[in-house]
Amino acid sequence: MNFKLVDFTLKSLKRNMTKKLSVIFIFTVLVFLLVSVFSISSSIKKELLISVDSLPELIVQKMSGGRQTLIPVERAFEIASIPGVNNAYDRVWGYYFFENVNVNFTILGLDFDLETYKKKYDNIIEMNSDIIDTSNTPFMIAGKGVVEIFNSYYNPNYFDFIKGNGKRMRTNIAGSFSDESALETNDVILMPIQNVRELFDIEEHLATDIVVRVPNPEEIDVVKQKIQFMYPDCRLVSRQDIEASYQNVFDYKSGLFLSLLIAAFVAFFILIYDKTSGLSLEDKREIGILKAVGWQVENILQIKFIEGAIISLFSFSFGTGLALFYVYTLQAPLLRNLFTGASYLKPEFDLLPIVDLQVLSLIFILTVPIYIMATIIPSWRAAIIDADEVMH
């Protein structure tokens, strides 16, 4: 590497400063927006993918007229007998709309005495030790968002659910979920299963849906087909379906925003087109002079390569650095709302700091080499013709 040529190039960057700064600005903004959008999307996707392994392999819903209805509990026993199925159990859960605050709580019924559940919730639930005997009165474990709503709009110790028959069901708050699981549990209320049945008026022989555990991934499709054959009125939602639908949604959300970046893309490509379509007279004259005083074509290409590389690499790095700081340190104010949508129970959560090197590489390949080529090609065209012709 001839550092004298590097020096010449760096000094020449100070010439036409306005034009070069505007190129750097557009380039940086474009990279900033691209990296920000992809980073937010990757972070939220990761949040989902982290927990996807904990989800059941299959969920069975009964459909009637295209809508979900309650499913007979006995189907769980029949499904459990299918070879390949490790476990199948009914689940009672639903949404409770608290009209005064316009929020939906997700209410899930659990058998709190069951050993399997005891093991699971012991580490993630903070019990209110000064409360109540959970053996008789209805109680709940609430997500942090729910607790805050109750504190602000009702009562910090209990809530009166209104049942379908108009009667109230006072339910004490026995504990809350930890802060770390806020994103997954902020709007969740766990209650004893019989209380949920009572609240939603779901009879003993019915359930909201049936969870099916199939440990061998190879057998999931077969089990799905068998269940579908057994119960044609059912809809089966697999773990892969959930993964795929979120992939689609985040790709759609990213795509929607990226289409709004069209203005930035257009500006960038106009820049590229302008560069490749030809040099200014002054630039051509300069190349002619360099050739006339003894520079070879490769020397000229070297300085143009260095110039293109410095501008594009600087812009790419600066844009990427700013974007990562904006997303993971400042937590992407404004932009992240695009992905999360409207919610009154939106938890305070930090975006997981995922740096997807594949995405960065893709953005790098789509911008840096293109810009460098756009700088080199017109210079090469000018450099290969006779110096005399170029100068005049």
Part of the chain binding other proteins (CB under 8 A), chosen from 262-270, 273-281, 294-302, 371-379: 294-302
Q: Of 101-120, which residues contact other proteins (CB under 8 A)? A: 101-104, 106, 108, 110, 117, 120
Give yes or no for residue 245 binding other proteins (CB under 8 A).
yes
For residues 287 and 382, the answer to whether their CB atoms sit within 8 Å is yes
Residues 349-368 that bind other proteins (CB under 8 A): 352-355, 357
Smallest gap from Cβ 267 to other proteins, in A, equals: 22
Residue of 83, 232, 294, 333 that binds other proteins (CB under 8 A):
294
Calpha distance 139→159 (Å, rounded): 9
Nearer to other proteins, 18 or 67 (CB): 67
* Interface with other proteins, residue 249, by CB under 8 A: yes
Q: Which of residues 309-348 bind other proteins (CB under 8 A)?
A: 310, 313-314, 317-318, 320-321, 324-325, 328, 340-347
| Site residues (CB under 8 A) for other proteins, limited to 17-76 | 44, 47-48, 50-56, 59, 61, 66-68
> What is the spatial distance between Cα 119 and Cα 374, in angstroms, rounded to a whole number?
62
What end-to-end distance do the CA atoms of the chain give, in Å?
31
Site for other proteins contains 99 (CB under 8 A): yes
Least Cβ distance, residue 266 to other proteins (angstroms): 26
Nearest-approach distance from CB 381 to other proteins, in angstroms: 14
Is residue 244 at the binding interface for other proteins, with CB under 8 A as the rule? Answer: yes
| 104 vs 128, beta carbon nearer other proteins | 104
Residue 70 vs 266, nearer CB to other proteins: 70
Q: Are residues 234 and 60 in contact, defined by beta-carbon separation less than 8 angstroms?
A: yes
Q: Which of residues 156-185 bind other proteins (CB under 8 A)?
A: 160, 166-170, 177-178, 180-185
Site for other proteins in 254-283 (CB under 8 A): none
Binders of other proteins in range 213-242 (CB under 8 A) = 235, 237, 241-242
